[in-house]
C-alpha cells in the first residue's frame, strides 16, 4: 500500500514534528505520532509507518541519519519490523537481524545529534 492523495503532506509534517521534538520527548510511539499529526482512523498507524518509510527513503538518498529512528513501538523501545526491513532494503542496515539492534542504536544517536 502507498500513501493516498490525502496523505501526501504527511511526510513534511512528520519531518517537522520529529525535528522539533525536545530531546527528552523522544522517542515517541507510532500512536503519539498519529495523534500529533491529527490522524483519525482507519489505518492511522499504517499511515504513520508508510510516511516514515518515505522519510527513510529521503534521508538515505540525502545521506542523512534516518529521523524514523525517533518513532518506536509501544511494545518496546524499537521501531516495528517494517522499519528494519526498509533499512536493510535501503542499504543502511546489515541484512543479519542479529545486528539490527546495534545498527538502530547507532542510527538513533546520529539522528539525535543532527536534528
What secondary structure letter does DSSP report for 43? S
Give the domain extent around 93.
5-113
pTM of the entire structure?
0.91
Residues in the chain: 115
Asked if 18 and 71 touch (Cβ cutoff 8 Å), the reply is yes
Domain count for the chain: 1
Given pLDDT bands bounded at 50, 70 and 90, which one contains residue 7? low
User: Which residue, chain included where needed, has cell 523522544?
Assistant: 26
pLDDT > 90: percent of the chain: 88
Amino acid at each position: 500500500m502507498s500513501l493516498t492523495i490525502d496523505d501526501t503532506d504527511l511526510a513534511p509534517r512528520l519531518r517537522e514534528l520529529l525535528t522539533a521534538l525536545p530531546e527528552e520527548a523522544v522517542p515517541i510511539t507510532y500512536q503519539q505520532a498519529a495523534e500529533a499529526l491529527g490522524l483519525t482512523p482507519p489505518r492511522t498507524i499504517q499511515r504513520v509507518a508508510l510516511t516514515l518509510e518515505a522519510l527513510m527513503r529521503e534521508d538515505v538518498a540525502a545521506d542523512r541519519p534516518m529521523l524514523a529512528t525517533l518513532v518506536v513501538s509501544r511494545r518496546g523501545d524499537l521501531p516495528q519490523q517494517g522499519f528494519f526491513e526498509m533499512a536493510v532494503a535501503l542499504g543502511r542496515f546489515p541484512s543479519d537481524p542479529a545486528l539490527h539492534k546495534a545498527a538502530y542504536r547507532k542510527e538513533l544517536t546520529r539522528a539525535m545529534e543532527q536534528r
